[in-house]
Amino acid sequence: MTAPAEGLPAPCHVKGCTETATEICERCGQLCCEAHVRHLRIERRSEQRAHTDALARIPTFVETYTLCVRCSTKPVQRKASLP
């Protein structure tokens, strides 16, 4: 895909859509307008604790993804862990 010219608004990638793109799909990189983007929130568990803490609640964290309509129906890979 070619990069849009500086200062010009980029159109949504969906055929027939005349809206200006406001988001980028994190999976495929397509430009999307608000109507053609999905925000996915996934709550994941942190790594398992030692056996002595078996009854303790495992902490969770939330990952948020911005995906186009096509990519939002596919499995989501875990984001790289932050240092």
Helices (H) and strands (E) in the chain, counts: 0, 4
* Residue 62, pLDDT above cutoff 70: yes
- Whole-number percent of the chain with pLDDT over 90: 35
The reported pLDDT for the residue numbered 76 is 79
Residue 65, SS3 per DSSP: strand
Which amino acid makes up residue 14?
V
State the pTM of this model: 0.65
In a domain? residue 9 = no
In a domain? residue 57 = yes
- Mean pLDDT over 24-45 rounds to 91
**What is each CA distance from 32 to 3, 51, 67, 80, in whole angstroms?**
14, 46, 9, 24
Between residues 5 and 59, the one the model is more confident about: 59
Count of domains in the chain? 1
The token pair at 65 is 């993804």
In a domain? residue 82 = no
The reported pLDDT for the residue numbered 2 is 40
Which amino acid makes up residue 13?
H
In a domain? residue 18 = no
Structural domain boundaries enclosing 68: 23-73
In a domain? residue 55 = yes
* Residue 34, pLDDT above cutoff 70: yes
In a domain? residue 56 = yes
* Residue 1, pLDDT above cutoff 50: no
In a domain? residue 13 = no
